[in-house]
Structure 1
């Protein structure tokens, strides 16, 4: 990497380098996308394997079985949807309780080796369709072996058989059933797609208001992060992003969830598309843009705030039975949301959208498919520019005295270094822990000596 790029990306304390990746960009069809083989503590009951279907078609797993590493045969009629995940656990009930999940399969027999082993999935004819050999020795990273992080298939288009295609999960505990938001920016990757066609989401058929007031008037409560969209208790349903119906090929490629009963029955579709971010990732964002493919009208919300619309729908918010405007086959809407990056937050975020048809009957199409992308810039170019600390100076292998690393806070705000680690070993990112309650004031330097105890 050139000196210019080194200056561009800087240094983050938690990781020596960051790579921003989407698990949905793999070059393989059905893959093992995440493995929790060494859960924290004595949590063998939280071991799991995650499958991902990268194809645009449903995958029937009837008769499929794990035949090496663990044992488990899928029940007849087990289907994994397009661009969807399926989790298999040693103790499904324990995993569902711990992560708030539903639909976890299992239990599998045996246990995943902490030292590495080969996992094989065979089809109904006994042919091996997936063979993964993981390890905790180089070139495999050791971080998933006992730190609480899972092993995540993270390299876009990478070969799952190669150690370089895998990395530790961003979050302790991993993200079973969800894409992992991985960590860093490479020279080749300067954009992060937060929501794309096929993104895991929930939708609501507009036969009534999704979140009516006491008097029955429309509200925007359904666009907020904390809104209850549980399919088991509400009329919301799970389905990959890109919702509606059409008979045109150039529109069908943006529709992942077909809604064929819309004509003549209701005029609107509502969708909630959750995604997760960390403060570190947000701090790299220099711009934010939404591209909305739609017909006939839409209103877009980010974390409960209306940020864009097609200009053809009246009402704030528009009622569920409002027309989407003239049937015009509009081009995609490209919306600069850089000024609204302050709406992004660490943790859960929600991109919400409502789409309205031009008429109840006689319309050949109605669909909506939003794509949300962030551009990567200088560390701290986004909404949280203070959340970084630089390694300013270091002394190593000195005969004169103790080795040390000097940290510097260049920002205008105090930085809390609790739960921050230093390491000179990419396979052991938790090597030295900075004491909890350590704060670095604006402009302050602080020397960390080699006498610091391990984390």
Structure 2
């Protein structure tokens, strides 16, 4: 069984340009499409948590336009990891290589994770090198912690994120800190508050399970769609996007091909797990299901029927034909009214798809995408992110230490409630007073001492962090 990982539909222009640059001695190395796009090398220490290294990860991105085999690839410097037989990375897809794969799944609620690698990422910086089976270099880069490297990625809670896959990854200027605290492993880094309010829970290639409809999966009941259903050997593992078609446009929606279906069985049942974090449940604004389907389907969320098209029955029998055979446009269903059936942790989207007949249909498609939309954060958060610590003064004289914060925008920025600290594991040392406004293009000076801010500034140099009122981001 091959292992596939999630594609992402964006960055098309970047990918085309990237493909032009992948030339080596006049011939492209296919593996050179792989780019390290995010690294969590120094997770923030948590109170009462002894093993913070378990949240280390390396994110890989397939910058090409075709699926790529990872078989035979190995990390041989920095950490040690051999990719398993049959592993693949879809075009435009992300894959996490982790020190503790299960810890990453549990913490971030993602499934596109491999591990565990041997060793640990060096908190002081090091070289990471990935090679193919012949020992040829696939990708290599050196990260650091000083100078122009983002300070907040060094134990303050952010990850190290590559700005674009085309950039020189040995250059600190090519990297920035993550938009979200903790990073965004396994999916595209958001670049704005609007981006951060939407998360794809299921997409083409998400890990799942399917059952060929040669009989009822649970004796005519919908027990098979419940979260606690125990799957036996008749349930096969395969990434989401199920069916068959000789049409290239339709086949683009498939990850698991069912070439034996046309003349053998009418229906397919699928169980696809996804994760939701507690804070996401609290701020959920909408839950949207998009379906590529041909010819009919029924959808269930944690065992509750939430929608369907083109097939009769409650539930439809395994040998029930679809109402009509046609090529349907994708549809979008709002599942927001069923959000109360969600739980923090693992949830299940379950589908049954039905064809118009055996031996008479040229195609069958069952391709879901499930998107979570969160309530947007306050506008002040986006404005506060634009602030810059512009100057730091420390000389030990009577003049006293101070730092200067600059507003580069053309709008005033309210700093009320923001925090300053020189300690990456205690970001809430000094809170900016209420109604502290930085004018457009203006400055705000903060005198620093143990008495006033809880920290003084070192003349030898150090990192100072400016964070949001809820410590949800580092400016």
Tell me if TM exceeds 0.5: yes
Judge conservation of contact 2:179–2:190 (CA < 8 Å) in 1.
no
What's the offset of the Cα at 1:154? 8.3
Structure-to-structure mapping, 1:47-66, within 5 angstroms: 49-53=58-62, 57-66=66-75
Which residue does the alignment assign to 1:324? 322
Which residue does the alignment assign to 2:123? 114
Does residue 224 in structure 1 map to residue 226 in structure 2? yes
Distance 1:291 1:260, change over 3 A: same
2: CA distance between counterparts of 1:46 and 1:190?
Answer: 23
Distance 1:282 1:104, change over 3 A: closer
Judge conservation of contact 1:69–1:119 (CA < 8 Å) in 2.
yes
Does residue 123 in structure 1 map to residue 125 in structure 2? no
Does residue 31 in structure 1 map to residue 27 in structure 2? no
Structure-to-structure mapping, 1:382-421, within 5 angstroms: none
Structure-to-structure mapping, 1:7-406, within 5 angstroms: 25=10, 29-32=33-36, 35=39, 37-38=41-42, 41=50, 49-53=58-62, 57-72=66-81, 77-82=85-90, 104=114, 108=118, 111-137=120-146, 140=149, 145=154, 151=159, 153=161, 161=169, 162-164=174-176, 166=178, 170=182, 179=186, 186-187=193-194, 191-210=198-217, 212=218, 216-219=219-222, 221-229=223-231, 234-310=233-309, 312-379=310-377
Judge conservation of contact 1:263–1:363 (CA < 8 Å) in 2.
yes
Distance 1:450 1:158, change over 3 A: farther
SS in 1 for 2:350: strand
Structure 2: tracts of 5 or more residues without a match = 1-6, 16-32, 379-383, 385-416, 430-451, 455-470
Judge conservation of contact 1:422–1:429 (CA < 8 Å) in 2.
no
What's the offset of the Cα at 1:357? 0.9
What's the offset of the Cα at 1:363? 1.3
SS in 2 for 1:424: strand
Greater relative contact order structure (CA < 8 Å, 6+ sep)? 1
Which residue does the alignment assign to 1:443? none
Judge conservation of contact 1:254–1:293 (CA < 8 Å) in 2.
yes
2: CA distance between counterparts of 1:366 and 1:81?
Answer: 24
2: CA distance between counterparts of 1:255 and 1:151?
Answer: 33
Distance 1:48 1:217, change over 3 A: same
What's the offset of the Cα at 1:318? 1.9
Structure 1: tracts of 5 or more residues without a match = 1-21, 381-390, 392-420, 434-448
2: CA distance between counterparts of 1:424 and 1:185?
Answer: 22
Judge conservation of contact 1:154–1:166 (CA < 8 Å) in 2.
no
- Provide, for residues 165-199 of structure 1, a one-character-per-residue CA deviation record: whole Å limited to 9, x for no partner: 7467649xx97xxx369789525666443322233
138-147 vs 116-125, which moves further:
138-147
SS in 2 for 1:250: helix
- Provide, for residues 337-372 of structure 1, a one-character-per-residue CA deviation record: whole Å limited to 9, x for no partner: 333333344333322211111112221111111222
What's the offset of the Cα at 1:273? 2.7
Distance 1:194 1:139, change over 3 A: farther
Judge conservation of contact 2:41–2:122 (CA < 8 Å) in 1.
yes
Q: How many residue pairs are counted as aligned between the two chains?
A: 360
User: Which of residues 420, 424, 447 in structure 2 aligns to 1:424?
Assistant: 420
Distance 1:44 1:280, change over 3 A: closer
- Provide, for residues 224-265 of structure 1, a one-character-per-residue CA deviation record: whole Å limited to 9, x for no partner: 334445xxx643333332110012233122112211111222
Q: What is the TM-score of this pair, normalised by structure 1?
A: 0.63
Which residue does the alignment assign to 1:441? none
- Provide, for residues 24-71 of structure 1, a one-character-per-residue CA deviation record: whole Å limited to 9, x for no partner: 756564233554544663576876545454666442334433343234
Alignment root-mean-square deviation, CA: 4.5
**Rg comparison, structure with higher value:** 2
1: CA distance between counterparts of 2:191 and 2:348?
Answer: 22
Which residue does the alignment assign to 2:28? none
Judge conservation of contact 1:141–1:427 (CA < 8 Å) in 2.
no
Judge conservation of contact 2:275–2:346 (CA < 8 Å) in 1.
yes
